[in-house]
Amino acid sequence: MISEPISSTQMAHQAAAAIFPCQDLVSIRDLGAAEINGIFSLATRLKSHPADFRTALAGKHVAMFFEKPSLRTRLTFEAGVAGLGGSISFVDQTSGRLDARETLSDIAHNLERWVSGIVLRTFAHSTVQGMASYARVPVINALSDLEHPCQALADYFTLQQRFGNLKKICLAYVGDGNNVAHSLLLTAATIGSKIRIATPQGYGPDVQIVADAKEIARHTGATIELLTDPREAVAGADAIYTDAWTSMGHEHEEAERARIFPPYQVNDALVAGAAPHAVFMHCLPAHRGEEITNEVMDSPRSVVFDQAESRLHVQKAILISLLGGENTRMPVRNAHA
């Protein structure tokens, strides 16, 4: 007997039921190891066979509100939704905060009646948390001042594609203990990997993020090391990661940071201490000549553009997982009411 081929819509429903235990992606803390592995498995299928999912989000509409400029995040979400058969609206909030004109709850209660999901790129993490608490449709954190979960998931997906078993690799992050570092730390803890984070004194990761990551690691067997010496961090590492020394919203600290961070530049001298097969990572945009040199950025072992590509596949997997099934908080109404 020949079975009927499964449609992309059916795949989407199965993925949504199988991956996400919650209805939003606000933080990596919303996920367990099984959920992250499920996202990676689906992203692998999406990367290999994108046409199989071209109608996975047919009839779905997504709203994006960005308080910060964006290249990769905006275009990968737009391309991702379009590639899955959905549609998207982009609202530029760079001239003012999302809740400047009306309350976040009022915005959420409007949006939930119009769209299937909401993607936010904000300054305050509380904005994402608030929208998720008010809106009865899924909310995705596309960056906040505390976390960048989509980026970290794409980064570890890139490493899985390169090395296979993530439990056997060591990622060294060198630079500012910012939102990207937070999400990398939580992801490594959740999947049971090894991570070293080296920052200048006073620029380390958020203490609550560290505490949460260590508590997760206690159950998963992950290894977390917080250091101040970048050479100690990269010694024997399989991947070396850096980010801008000054994140958006901290421009007033730029001169001071430019004085403190040069010893943390990812250059040929620093990466010489890593494993011979080590790859070099950056979430972009890069300030060439500051946190990373051209020689490292353009090295054959650089995977920065693989990371950028991974954003598309992983975010498509997240979109399918959250929007592809029936996991909506909208109440079921009687059609004859």
The C-alpha atoms of residue 193 and residue 166 are separated, in whole angstroms, by: 6
pLDDT at 11 over 70: no
Residue 99 confidence (pLDDT): 92
pLDDT digits (tens, 9 = 90+) for 210-254: 999 999 999 999 999 999 999 999 999 999 999 999 987 778 899
Instruction: Assess whether 52 carries a catalytic annotation.
Output: no
pLDDT digits (tens, 9 = 90+) for 36-60: 999 999 999 999 999 999 999 999 9
- Evaluate whether residue 130 is within a structural domain: yes
Residues 161 and 140 in one domain: no
% of the chain exceeding 70 in pLDDT: 90
Residues 122 and 159 in one domain: no
- What are the residues whose beta carbons fall under 8 Å from the beta carbon of 243, sequence distance 6 or more? 173, 175, 176, 178, 180, 181, 282, 283, 291
Residue 328 confidence (pLDDT): 39
Q: Which range of residues forms the domain containing residue 279?
A: 152-310
Torsion of CA 306, 192, 316, 3, to 10 degrees: 110
- Evaluate whether residue 123 is within a structural domain: yes
pLDDT at 156 over 60: yes
Q: Are 175 and 264 in contact (CB under 8 A)?
A: yes
Residue with tokens 């200048």, as numbered in its chain: 200
- Evaluate whether residue 335 is within a structural domain: no
In degrees, rounded to 5, the angle at the alpha carbon of residue 300 between the alpha carbons of residues 297 and 301 is 75
Q: Give the amino acid at 134.
A: Y
In 3D space, the residue among 8, 30, 151, 28 whose CA is nearest the CA of residue 83 turns out to be 8
Residues 236 and 175 in one domain: yes
Q: Which 3-state string (H, E, C) describes 10-67? A: HHHHHHHHHHCCCCCECCHHHCCHHHHHHHHHHHHHHHHCHHHHCCCCCCCEEEEEEC
Residues 164 and 127 in one domain: no
Give me the catalytic one of 13, 74, 125, 148.
148
The C-alpha atoms of residue 287 and residue 233 are separated, in whole angstroms, by: 21
Residues 292 and 315 in one domain: no
- What are the residues whose beta carbons fall under 8 Å from the beta carbon of 105, sequence distance 6 or more? 130, 134
Residues 183 and 140 in one domain: no
% of the chain exceeding 90 in pLDDT: 87
Residues 73 and 160 in one domain: no
Beta strands 194-198 and 223-227: pairing type? parallel
- Evaluate whether residue 337 is within a structural domain: no
Instruction: Assess whether 282 carries a catalytic annotation.
Output: no
Residue 17 confidence (pLDDT): 52
Give me the catalytic one of 13, 121, 257, 313.
121
pLDDT digits (tens, 9 = 90+) for 68-88: 999 999 999 999 999 999 999
Give me the catalytic one of 151, 160, 307, 315.
151
- Evaluate whether residue 334 is within a structural domain: no
Give me the catalytic one of 243, 257, 265, 313.
243
Q: Are 117 and 92 in contact (CB under 8 A)?
A: no
Instruction: Assess whether 22 carries a catalytic annotation.
Output: no
In 3D space, the residue among 138, 11, 151 whose CA is nearest the CA of residue 84 turns out to be 11
pLDDT band at residue 15 under the 50/70/90 scheme: low
Which residues face 195 on adjacent strands? 171, 224
> Helices (H), strands (E): how many in the chain?
13, 9
Residue 249 confidence (pLDDT): 77
Residues 182 and 248 in one domain: yes
Instruction: Assess whether 170 carries a catalytic annotation.
Output: no
In the 8-state DSSP scheme, what is residue 262? G
pLDDT digits (tens, 9 = 90+) for 290-312: 999 999 999 999 999 999 999 99
- The more confidently predicted of residues 93 and 251 is 93
Radius of gyration of the chain (CA): 20
Residues 27 and 117 in one domain: yes
- Evaluate whether residue 45 is within a structural domain: yes
* Token pair listed for 78: 């737009």
In 3D space, the residue among 313, 323, 284 whose CA is nearest the CA of residue 119 turns out to be 323
- What are the residues whose beta carbons fall under 8 Å from the beta carbon of 115, sequence distance 6 or more? 61, 62, 63, 89, 137
Give me the catalytic one of 74, 125, 196, 311.
311
CATH number of the domain residue 233 falls in = 3.40.50.1370
Question: Average model confidence (pLDDT) for the chain?
Answer: 92
Torsion of CA 306, 173, 27, 70, to 10 degrees: -50
pLDDT digits (tens, 9 = 90+) for 264-291: 999 999 999 999 999 999 999 999 999 9
Instruction: Assess whether 54 carries a catalytic annotation.
Output: no
How crowded is residue 151: how many other Cβ atoms within 10 Å of its Cβ?
Answer: 27
Give me the catalytic one of 170, 182, 257, 283.
283
In 3D space, the residue among 297, 303, 298, 244 whose CA is nearest the CA of residue 277 turns out to be 303
- Evaluate whether residue 2 is within a structural domain: no
Residues 122 and 85 in one domain: yes
Type and span of the H or E element at 208: helix 207-220
Instruction: Assess whether 160 carries a catalytic annotation.
Output: no
Residues 259 and 317 in one domain: no
- Evaluate whether residue 158 is within a structural domain: yes
Domain count, the chain: 2
Residues 111 and 143 in one domain: yes
